[in-house]
């Protein structure tokens, strides 16, 4: 009895090569679908420019208010308050930025948009990856606006290009982490109305019980210990150190505050390691047949 021949062998092409080709084709198709969904989100911004207020006008308003209203009342060692402020405003704006992806995701789920997209011949995960990509692009806009506003009020960097680039990479890592956290919140809440309450009750304590706007030594002793382990404090200190801006002394020596750059990257990696799998699992459960 003659055995059936393997078609890949008859063609002289190893099966492994065919599998690799199919995998590359699937990856290319997924990336194409991801760009389409990301473009859809960006088109919404073009049609409704008000969606950019939270990453443009709001950060600019914070920079101007804190620089010219509070700047004369707060003194920092080793520099002026405006240079001290920019690192804190950057991290605060990125932390609040998680509300954008949360509202967008929750709205699409509640309006049945995601279910309609699932009926299209696209990769199931492409909607989620496109959503994350578009929201991350919005975070990049926020970083650009804030750095430009900082230059206008007198903020400057005082280190080399390598350290400035490291600071930008750290900001992007934190922006990615907040995008995934926001997406997870959007998948978890029952309605978009609940998002802002969650965002404010979590981000406000993290940003104000930190060194974002005032030196840690000005806080009560109990809050000093909390702030020294606060991820926002660590990331703000890291950005200031990398930009060469004023870094005020810490009341107590803790490993994160003594090594803010390394600790900042570790914090971002931990947040991503927790948020990404939880988001993927929640997305699969919310879009299950």
For the entire predicted model, the pTM comes to 0.88
- Give the residue ranges of the chain where pLDDT is below 50: 1-11, 13
* Cβ-proximal residues to 135 (8 Å cutoff; 6+ apart), any chain: 41, 100, 101, 104, 179, 182, 183
State whether residue 213 is helix, strand or coil: coil
The predicted structure's pLDDT at residue 15: 53
278, with CB counted inside 10 A (0-12, 13-18, 19+), is middle
Structure tokens at 256: 């994160």
The predicted structure's pLDDT at residue 174: 97
The predicted structure's pLDDT at residue 68: 81
The predicted structure's pLDDT at residue 2: 47
Distance linking the first and last C-alpha atoms of the chain: 45
**Which DSSP symbol is given to 68?**
I
For 212-235, how does the pLDDT look when each residue is reduced to its tens digit (9 = 90+)? 998 998 899 999 999 999 999 999
The predicted structure's pLDDT at residue 136: 93
Judge whether 140 and 175 are in contact, CB under 8 Å. yes
**114-122 CB contacts, 8 Å cutoff, 24+ apart:** 114/286, 114/287, 115/287, 117/37, 118/287, 122/33, 122/36, 122/37
């Amino acid at each position: 009895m003659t055995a059936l021949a393997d078609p890949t062998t008859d063609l002289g092409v190893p099966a492994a090569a065919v599998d690799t080709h199919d995998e590359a084709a699937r990856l290319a198709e997924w990336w194409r679908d991801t760009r389409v969904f990301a473009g859809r989100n960006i088109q919404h911004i073009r049609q409704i420019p008000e969606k950019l207020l939270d990453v443009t006008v709001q950060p600019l308003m914070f920079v101007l208010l804190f620089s010219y209203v509070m700047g004369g009342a707060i003194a920092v060692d080793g520099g002026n308050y405006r240079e001290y402020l920019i690192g804190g405003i950057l991290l605060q704006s990125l932390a609040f930025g998680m509300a954008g992806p949360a509202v967008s995701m929750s709205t699409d789920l509640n309006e049945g948009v995601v279910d309609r997209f699932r009926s299209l011949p696209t990769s199931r995960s492409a909607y989620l990856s496109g959503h994350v990509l578009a929201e991350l692009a919005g975070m990049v806009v926020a970083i650009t606006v804030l750095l430009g506003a900082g230059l206008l009020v007198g903020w400057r960097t005082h280190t080399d290009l390598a350290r400035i680039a490291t600071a930008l990479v750290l900001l992007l890592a934190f922006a990615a982490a907040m995008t995934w956290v926001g997406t997870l919140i959007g998948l978890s809440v029952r309605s978009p109305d609940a998002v802002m309450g969650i965002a404010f009750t979590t981000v406000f304590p993290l940003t104000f019980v930190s060194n974002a706007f005032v030196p840690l030594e000005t806080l009560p002793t109990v809050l000093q210990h909390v702030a020294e382990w606060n991820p926002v404090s660590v990331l703000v200190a890291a950005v200031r150190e990398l930009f060469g801006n004023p870094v005020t002394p810490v009341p107590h020596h803790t490993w994160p505050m003594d090594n803010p750059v390394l600790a900042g990257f570790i914090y971002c990696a931990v947040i991503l390691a927790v948020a990404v799998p939880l988001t993927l699992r929640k997305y699969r459960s919310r879009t299950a047949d």
